[in-house]
Amino acid sequence: MNIQDWTYLLVGITFTIYIGIAIWSRVQSTSGFYVAGRGVPPLANGMATAADWMSAASFISMAGLVSFMGYTGTIYLMGWTGGYVLLALLLAPYLRKYGRYTIPEFVGDRYYSQTARVIAVFCAIFVSFTYVAGQMRGVGVVFSRFLEVDVNIGVVIGVVIVFFYAVMGGMRGITYTQVAQFCVLIVAYLVPAAAISWQMTGWAIPQIGFGSTLLEGQHAGMALLEALDAIHRDLGLPEYTGAWVDGKKSMIDVLAITMALMIGTAGLPHVLIRFYTVPNSRAARWSAMWALIFIGLLYTTAPAVSAFARVNMIETLNEKPYVEAPQWFKSWEATGLIVFKDLNGDGVIQYSGDAQKNELMVDRDIMVLANPEIAKLPAWVVALVAAGGLAAALSTAAGLLLVISASVSHDLFKSVLWKNMSQKDELRMARIAAAFAVVVAGLLGIYPPGFVAQVVAFAFGLAAASFFPILLLGIFDKRTTKEGAITGMLLGIGFTAAYIIWFRFLDPTATAEQWLFGISPEGIGTIGMILNFIATITVSHFTPEPPIEVQNMVDDIRLPSGSRDIG
């Protein structure tokens, strides 16, 4: 069987499993649709949280970014894993103790304001749609290569699958589908990583192979990272392990992006809502621990995958005649995600750090997906990676779409526009909102605003600037008022969104010297978060303190985990 046959087989099997779980877990109540009836065990919720959190950016794009950026690419590793620790320690158990269904609901109750709730709904929808654009692009990338269909058709197929199990099963269906998707994506990531590590270094554990010497090739006998530095020097590129050197991000930008990713992770509504699905706050803490273990499996492997892919790609293609290019190159070239332009007419592929001489353009999103083919692994391994990439993208997309659905049906219609709505009508509205969100997500996948990880970084920045400050202050500071929270949310997300739109879409050629403090759009969420904190605390100081019942609620949320949960 060839790669395409294996891909159809494995993707077909996994999609059948997802749909079967959706049918089995079909819900008939709003509690089941929004929070899976609060009956998900901590281990299962940890796996579902890991799948929800490890999106197409983690599986497909992150290693590609590190592969091209080298040392400074570790901002994604440090930011996303560090942010999860913040979420587990500072927010998850307290939000579960509060209970209810959604993050906007907590904001509305804690800040005793329907206006605050509506603004939180807007922020949740805006962040989620930004994030879901990256996931649907990832789906399109996988389908376009491995099933040999147009990228747009691939997105449509993904939309149909997500529509089925998100609309039918709600959070219950999504949760158990995500458990299956985690198993698929982690196996799909670790199997080729171990095989390539063994092939290149003699170690089957990628984390060890990352620090070992190469067995074959022109750099045999050299440590992997030393070989990469040598390769980069020969090509006129900044050293792979170099920091704060020409051609790489500045220290301030690296710090800002890392902080934005960390704080954004702790403020992502589709991750936070997962902790409402367990029985109590103790289970929420255990869920967080299990999720961190599962996340660590992929994130400690990613640097090795990045380095292996970088060495293999350059040694396979650079200074090789185009007519002798391997089959994997031809296959990816057909998708338009890797391009050769023969600038000097000699028919030889030249990869160079000099933009005037470089003849090879590679979309960073293909590195993980192409890595098994470059290493000449069996066809079933290549297909397994494709199935894993789809699992990662679809699992996160489903979680984001549920946030959008719940925000519209529960926080906007049920709580503001149609307060006497029956549970049956609310469930119907939730499914309609989910269906609408799926369609919009598909359009964003067809017309994506950037690389998968880049788009996701924007979403994290928006979450950092909008949700994290008001959630943290809402839990740990009784004096924070509704006026402060409303001002902080609007200022934080307004400033961050305007900055991203200006420098990403209106003036994309702007240089680092034109950015505020030299901070790129990916990192500007850090400044938005600081502005949010300053505005919230300042305005709260000059406005009347919250009602006593709200202050008592804040005290109750912070009671020890063995105490009775609120909801």
3-state secondary structure of 228: helix
Instruction: Give the C-alpha separation, 162 to 39, whole Å.
Output: 23
Transcribe 449-510 into DSSP letters.
Answer: SS-HHHHHHHHHHHHHHHHHHHHHHHHH-TT--HHHHHHHHHHHHHHHHHHHHIIIIISTT-
Half-sphere exposure for 71 (CA within 13 Å, toward CB): 20
Listed residue (44, 180, 143) closest to 390, CA to CA: 143
Q: How far is CA 418 from CA 24, 125, 428, 437, in A?
A: 31, 19, 13, 20
Instruction: Give the C-alpha separation, 358 to 300, whole Å.
Output: 32
pLDDT in tens, the chain (567 residues): 888 888 889 888 888 888 787 777 666 666 656 655 667 788 888 888 888 777 777 787 788 888 888 888 888 888 878 887 887 778 877 877 776 667 788 888 889 888 888 888 888 887 777 777 767 777 777 777 777 777 778 788 877 777 776 666 666 777 888 888 888 889 999 999 999 999 999 999 999 999 999 988 788 889 999 999 999 888 888 888 888 777 778 889 889 988 888 888 777 777 777 777 777 777 777 888 888 888 889 889 999 999 999 998 888 888 889 888 888 888 888 877 788 888 888 888 888 888 788 888 888 878 888 889 888 899 899 888 888 888 887 777 777 777 777 777 777 777 767 667 777 777 778 778 877 877 887 887 777 655 555 566 677 788 888 888 998 999 999 999 999 999 998 999 899 989 988 887 788 788 878 898 889 888 899 999 999 999 999 999 999 999 999 889 888 887 654 444 445
Instruction: Give the C-alpha separation, 506 to 497, whole Å.
Output: 12
Residues in the chain: 567
**CA-atom Rg of the chain in angstroms:** 24
Residue pair 297/204 in contact (Cβ under 8 Å)? The answer is no
Instruction: Give the C-alpha separation, 536 to 562, whole Å.
Output: 31
